[in-house]
A and B are shown apart, each in its own frame.
Chain A
């Protein structure tokens, strides 16, 4: 917890925090890292296999194969989310299944499924990007800032 937050607490509360922390089950960080590494690696290996598949059987190069691969991975993530499997994989894998693009797909699709009962417009449409919306917003903004820096550096920086 942030120090600033802690300052607002009374001494009894602070004392209880320490008391509570001692008895709290800790997140198994090392185990989580290993699991995330293995599952995340596995997902990436599947993605790599799909890329090779498109390059071998279709007319894609290493530069252009990204798009169909990502689309396929997101599609698979959608199927697994719909079948109710992805959240179970995620409980085991943690960041391993959240960081790859499949995790992003899961965030969008799970929200869409969840709000289907409120109809297509007010439910699915309005809530689909409830979780992924901020990723899109700040991702786009970060890309804009990087592009701006690059433009300034090349135009006036003489790079």
Chain B
């Protein structure tokens, strides 16, 4: 049901039956290593190419999520997932393995929440009983496409971010128990004219602010309604900018209740510069770390605002600015929505 201008409220309270997260070697050394279901020692995952390894990440996460919920793959009626690689081949190939009906979605690094919002909407309205949704990224495969070769010695500025190697998948259904998806706000494309691909946080911050404000306005609630508002991959700089913007717009939000997935995943001292990024970033942090905290009862209500920079290497070379988007999804324990 549409509430306000662009927020969906899910009255049937779709549940996240299970989630699974898979990570790479860099994530295994990170701060939330314990929250992963599966960690790989080798960036190749024993595959012939990074793109194939990327596909395996997603496959493993999908199978793990189904296994944890005890749902056979034949019961999955829809897969809604995506990644950052051209034509989304890793996700397409993973969907081929599962064999369920499939919709590929691209929202750059906001794909995780774009997928979750759509899945919750479809499940809520009886379009499917079980939906697998998720997002993945692979550091080397993504860097290869968007930036320079991985071994190229180019100095990255302090505003640059580190692409996560990982996949996060959730199984959504109205049958069964789990944290409830209560509402979702679809973002609009915001372009503040920034064009530096090594400063995504700064470019994406206004999009996150726009979506958070729209969500709170549509739902007629205060930021304090949520125990945690967590952005996707704004990094150090983006988080600070968005926090300042929110405050400038008169929103009262506490520092510790406003976090960023890109700053949660890695440990202090890992060479990630401004923080983490990539489609897998918000997926592994939200579906792993944050939902585990919800299950332990540390968090009751969270708003995940996944942020995405909708650029391509070509658009940047042609001097286009970076359009950005953010999608917000509210996840609540037990699901007593407003």
Chain A residues with CB under 8 Å of chain B are 1, 5, 8-10, 12-14, 16-17, 19-20, 23-28, 32, 81-82, 84, 86-87, 89-91, 93-95, 97-98, 103, 106-107, 109-111, 113-115, 117, 130-131
Contacts of B158 in A (CB 8 A): 25-28
Inter-chain contact B155/A91, CB cutoff 8 Å: yes
* B293 interface hit (Cβ, 8 Å): no
State A86–B151 Cα separation when bound (angstroms).
Answer: 7
Contacts of B155 in A (CB 8 A): 32, 90-91, 93-95, 98
Contacts of B144 in A (CB 8 A): 114
State A106–B191 Cα separation when bound (angstroms).
Answer: 36
Quick one: CB contact mask for B214-256 with A, threshold 8 Å, 1 for yes?
0000000000000000000000110011001100000000000
Interface residues in B131-146 by Cβ distance below 8 A to A read 144
Binding site secondary structure of chain A: helix
State A16–B245 Cα separation when bound (angstroms).
Answer: 10
Please pick, from A13, A23, A98, the residue contacting B193 in the complex, using a CB distance under 8 A.
Answer: A13
Considering the complex, give the chain B residue whose CB is closest to the CB of A1.
Answer: B195
Contacts A24-B159, A28-B158, A117-B48; A131 near B152 (Cβ below 8 A): yes
Contacts A23-B240, A25-B237; A16 near B192 (Cβ below 8 A): yes
Smallest distance from the beta carbon of B115 to chain A beta carbons, Å?
Answer: 28
Contacts of B191 in A (CB 8 A): 13
- Which of B144, B149, B158 counts the most A-chain CB atoms under 10 A from its CB? B149
Inter-chain contact B319/A5, CB cutoff 8 Å: yes
State A27–B159 Cα separation when bound (angstroms).
Answer: 8
Interface residues in B35-49 by Cβ distance below 8 A to A read 48-49
Considering the complex, give the chain B residue whose CB is closest to the CB of A117.
Answer: B49
Smallest distance from the beta carbon of A89 to chain B beta carbons, Å?
Answer: 7
Contacts A13-B192, A16-B193, A114-B144; A87 near B152 (Cβ below 8 A): yes
State A72–B84 Cα separation when bound (angstroms).
Answer: 39
Contacts of A115 in B (CB 8 A): 149
Inter-chain contact B151/A24, CB cutoff 8 Å: no
State A90–B148 Cα separation when bound (angstroms).
Answer: 13
Contacts of B287 in A (CB 8 A): none
Smallest distance from the beta carbon of B251 to chain A beta carbons, Å?
Answer: 16
Inter-chain contact A20/B157, CB cutoff 8 Å: no
Inter-chain contact B148/A110, CB cutoff 8 Å: yes
Contacts of B148 in A (CB 8 A): 110, 131
User: What are 5 residue pairs bridging A and B, where the CB atoms are less than 8 Å apart in the complex?
Assistant: A23-B244, A27-B158, A93-B155, A97-B153, A131-B149
Contacts of A13 in B (CB 8 A): 191-193
* B315 interface hit (Cβ, 8 Å): no
* B154 interface hit (Cβ, 8 Å): yes
State A10–B319 Cα separation when bound (angstroms).
Answer: 17
Please pick, from A1, A20, A25, A90, the residue contacting B154 in the complex, using a CB distance under 8 A.
Answer: A90
Inter-chain contact A24/B150, CB cutoff 8 Å: no
Contacts of B240 in A (CB 8 A): 23
Inter-chain contact B149/A90, CB cutoff 8 Å: no
Inter-chain contact A117/B50, CB cutoff 8 Å: yes
Smallest distance from the beta carbon of B168 to chain A beta carbons, Å?
Answer: 25
Contacts of B205 in A (CB 8 A): 20
Interface residues in B86-106 by Cβ distance below 8 A to A read none
State A53–B49 Cα separation when bound (angstroms).
Answer: 41
* B70 interface hit (Cβ, 8 Å): no
Contacts of B274 in A (CB 8 A): 25
Considering the complex, give the chain B residue whose CB is closest to the CB of A94.
Answer: B155
* B194 interface hit (Cβ, 8 Å): yes
Inter-chain contact A23/B153, CB cutoff 8 Å: no
- Which of A5, A87, A94 counts the most B-chain CB atoms under 10 A from its CB? A87
Considering the complex, give the chain A residue whose CB is closest to the CB of B240.
Answer: A23
Contacts of B296 in A (CB 8 A): none
Smallest distance from the beta carbon of A23 to chain B beta carbons, Å?
Answer: 5
Contacts of B199 in A (CB 8 A): 24
